[in-house]
Amino acid sequence: MLVQGARVADFERRLAERCGREHAVACGSGTAALELALGALGVNAGEVLCPDLSWPSPAHAIVRCGARPTLVDIDALSWNATAEAMAAARTDDTRAAVVIDQFGMPAEHDRITAALDGLPVVVDAACSLGATIAGAPAPAGGRIACLSFHPRKLITTGEGGACVTNDSDLAEELRILRNHGQGGPGAFVTPGGNQRMTEIQAALGLAQLDRLDAILERRRHLGERYRQALRGFGLQEPREGVASNWQTFGVTLPKTAGPEARDALVRALRANGVEAGRLSYALHRLGSLAGRFSGGPFPVAEHVEDRGLALPLHPGLDDEDQDRVLRAFDRATRALGIEP
Ligand SMILES: Cc1ncc(COP(=O)(O)O)c(C=O)c1O
């Protein structure tokens, strides 16, 4: 039994518990989880709200299920979309909302859900396993939350993802959709695809779940050290009561530095053995979404895309290595005339 056997069931049980949910439905990737979630909610037309700053998966998932993303600018402090911005972007044609916990920083799920007054909310928790809001797991938000287990996330199964929900009917629909549309063996009730997880992935995921608390502790320690050292630069700020897992640690340069300065800084860091990279994407600028979205303007997402970089942060990074990163950052910003 190499696919969707006892280990997958065990991984789902432990994951649901960790996320404070009744059900977890494991699948092949975080992107697959988003497509399954929108499918299970019956979204196949109309508009779906989606923050503008992100890896493209949520907006691509919306287009692929037959709807149009209404992109929403992000907040300058949290780099997440706010309840006010989401509510303002809603139209009569809006069918659902995707709320992203950007870089592992939980968005205001409850306020957004309340502001959208009955609209189904999918939390893209691809990055936020282990993050909390008032002590509760971030993936406990929304009708369905979607997780990713890509190697850059808190825990990995190689590729992998999951939907978590408290709604038994939705969980059943998700299970049907991931398994060729089968309601039972050979009972094909809808034209579903194949988004199953393998036993090999689940075995890896179970071992990784055992390490999640240690991984979180290390990430939080490193995140706090970066925050202290980089005061003055643009940093993602947690709201009251929110604890990020620092899945990605981003920093933005001041407005006086443009994208060229950011790129030069990334090159200088890499030349010194520091694996920095550009931070994220303003989705309205992607060729894949040209003519396919509504919304705007997006000044904050553009600022973060143009001036943001990600610094190395992983549980294997020791304090000494992090100090080397910070020294290289300090040297390179001075050499390029970039001041906080
Ligand atoms: C916000 C967000 N959503 C979805 C995904 C997609 O996850 P996966 O790579 O597992 O398909 C990512 C991946 O980076 C992400 O950052």
Q: Which of 79, 102, 146, 150 to probe ligand 1 with, by most ligand atoms within 8 A of CB?
A: 150
**pLDDT score at 335:** 97
pLDDT score recorded for residue 298: 98
Determine whether the shortest distance from the Cβ of 28 to ligand 1 is under 6 A.
Answer: no
What local confidence, expressed as pLDDT, does residue 212 receive? 98
Query: Is the beta carbon of 310 within 6 A of some atom in ligand 1?
Result: no
Is any atom of ligand 1 closer than 6 Å to the C-beta of 51?
no
pLDDT of residue 45: 98
Q: Is the CB of 111 under 6 A from ligand 1?
A: no
Is any ligand 1 atom within 6 A of the Cβ of residue 94?
no
pLDDT (tens digit per residue) in 40-49: 999 999 999 9
Q: What integer pLDDT is reported at residue 325 of this predicted model?
A: 98
- Give residue 7's pLDDT: 98
Nearest residue to 281 via CA among 25, 10, 52: 52
First CA to last CA across the chain, in angstroms?
56
pLDDT of residue 168: 98
The residue-averaged pLDDT of 185-194 equals 97
Is 195 close to ligand 1, i.e. is its CB under 6 Å away?
no
Q: Which atom of ligand 1 is nearest to the CA of 57?
A: 4
pLDDT of residue 296: 97
Residue 77's SS3 state is: coil
Number of Cβ within 10 Å of residue 114's Cβ equals 12
Measured in angstroms, how far is the CA atom of residue 338 from the centroid of ligand 1? 31
In the reported structure, the alpha carbon of residue 301 is separated from the centroid of ligand 1 by a whole-number distance in angstroms of: 18
Pocket flag, ligand 1, residue 57 (CB < 6 Å): yes
| Residue 98, ligand 1, Cβ within 6 A | no
Residue 57 pLDDT class (50, 70, 90 cuts)? very high
Q: Whose CA is nearest to atom 16 of ligand 1?
A: 55
Q: What percent of the chain has pLDDT over 90?
A: 99
Mean pLDDT for the stretch of residues 111-135: 98
Alpha helix ranges (H) inside 230-296: 259-271
Is residue 104 within 6 Å of ligand 1 at its C-beta?
no
Q: Is 148 in the pocket of ligand 1 (CB under 6 A)?
A: yes
Tokens 């592992």 belong to residue: 104
Could you read off the pLDDT of 254-278 as tens digits, one per residue? Answer: 999 999 999 999 999 999 999 999 9
Predicted confidence at residue 224, as pLDDT, reads 98
pLDDT in the model for residue 254:
97
DSSP 305-330: HHHEEEEP--TT--HHHHHHHHHHHH
Pocket mutation for ligand 1, best pick of 53, 57, 98 (most atoms within 8 Å of C-beta): 57
Mean pLDDT of 304-325: 98
Contact 85, 51 (CB under 8 A): no
- 213 band by pLDDT with thresholds 50, 70 and 90: very high
Query: How many Å lie between the centroid of ligand 1 and the Cα of residue 38?
Result: 15
Residue 171 backbone phi and psi in degrees, to 5: -60, -40
The C-alpha atoms of residue 191 and residue 208 are separated, in whole angstroms, by: 33
Instruction: Give residue 135's pLDDT.
Output: 97
